[in-house]
Amino acid sequence: MTAGRNSAVGEQASAAPEKAAKGVKGTRGAGGAAASAGKGAGRSGDAGASGGAAGSGGKRAAAKKTGAAKPVKKAVAAKPVKKAVVAKPATKAAAAKPAKPVKKTAAKPESRTALVRRARRINRELAEVYPYAHPELDFENPFQLLVATVLSAQTTDLRVNQTTPALFAKYPTPEDLAVANPEDVEELIRPTGFFRAKTKSIMGLAAALRDEFGGEVPGRLEDLVKLPGVGRKTAFVVMGNAFGRPGITVDTHFGRLVRRWKWTEETDPDKVEKAVGELFPKSDWTMLSHRVIFHGRRICHARKPACGACPIAPLCPAYGEGETDPEKAKKLLKYEKGGFPGQRLKPPQSYLDAGGIPAPPLGATAPPATGE
């Protein structure tokens, strides 16, 4: 019996290692199987020690697995933060900032009321700059002014003023000019250009004055425009300066400036006259014409406006088309503003008091005028 018990116990003891070996292949892992085998052998001996070692080895393996996961968390947490710091939206916002000036330049259309106010303010400013503004053709009576204005087409007032003294000395009245020898008249007015066509015009209007108006220049627009070579521009010059009746003179200077100032976009002289006339009371028309023409000849030139020396620059939509540097702009000024002779041989005293210099007679050696 004792031998049988010992035999049974030995079989059980020998079976334990086999079960432990099978446990190594189980889901509990090598550490758990070895520990069970150690306990089955009485928690002593090499099997228990190896089971504890295997168990601690399993824990280290698990620790290594958990430790390997930490860099993943750092990488996931760190990289998105860095990308967020590189603020691309800020770059877009910065790129959008230069667009603001574009919005400013796209100015709203000027209202009619604002246009009228700005136009009248320009006129007031010009009145302070040119208190001596006047017609720049020499004349002593309506007939001389009428003839001089017709001759001023396609030439300067200076050239006309240098030419008419000899003409009026020989033909002082409409009756005298009407019966003149055309060739003699052509020779006298040759310096003004287009002398043949102009000879026909001034001799024709002289004859009309003699035959239809008793040798007197009429003071009404409808009568003046019937004369040969006389249009609305010439008629308004005569009406405003010889008879004191309001009129707008639309010459090349006037038309250029009012378009630069956005008073109108019209190019036809009659339409320009109508558009500008609606911005001002009639009492301002004649002097407005003188001031605008003065400004066009002295500062706001066709090719090189002296923007940097312009007194109405803050009111001008075209500021910057010309020279904006003040020192360079001063060199572009003409006539009394630039210290040069004016266009009239016999200018008004107010012009001389303001520093204006009389123009030299034809053929004189005095410094030439520099007008357009």
Clarify whether 251 is annotated catalytic: yes
H runs (alpha helix) in the chain = 2-24, 29-40, 45-85, 88-96, 99-105, 112-129, 142-151, 157-170, 174-178, 182-189, 195-212, 221-224, 232-242, 252-260, 269-277, 285-298, 326-330, 349-353
Cα–Cα distance list, 82 to 78, 88, 94, 204 (Å): 6, 12, 20, 92
Nearest to 259 by CA among 242, 246, 271: 271
Choose, from 39, 223, 226, 251, the residue flagged as catalytic: 251
The partner residues of 357 in beta bridges, in order of sequence, read 341
Handedness of CA 246, 133, 321, 120 (dihedral sign): negative
Q: Rounded to the nearest 5°, which phi and psi values hold at 151?
A: -70, -20
Which among 198, 233, 334, 337 is annotated as catalytic?
Answer: 233
8 Å CB contact between 366 and 360: yes
- Whether 223 is a known active-site residue: answer no
Q: Using CA atoms, how far apart are residues 285 and 169, in angstroms rounded to an integer?
A: 32
What residues have CB less than 8 Å from 301, skipping those under 6 apart?
A: 322, 332, 334, 372
DSSP character for 358? P
Q: How far is CA 51 from CA 33, 35, 57, 63, in A?
A: 8, 4, 10, 18
Burial of 282 (0-12, 13-18, 19+ CB in 10 A): exposed
Q: If you search the block for the tokens 């550490």, which residue do you land on?
A: 31
**Residue reference for tokens 């009012």:** 258
Closest CA to 297 of 160, 133, 152, 165: 133
Q: Which amino acids are annotated catalytic?
A: 233, 251
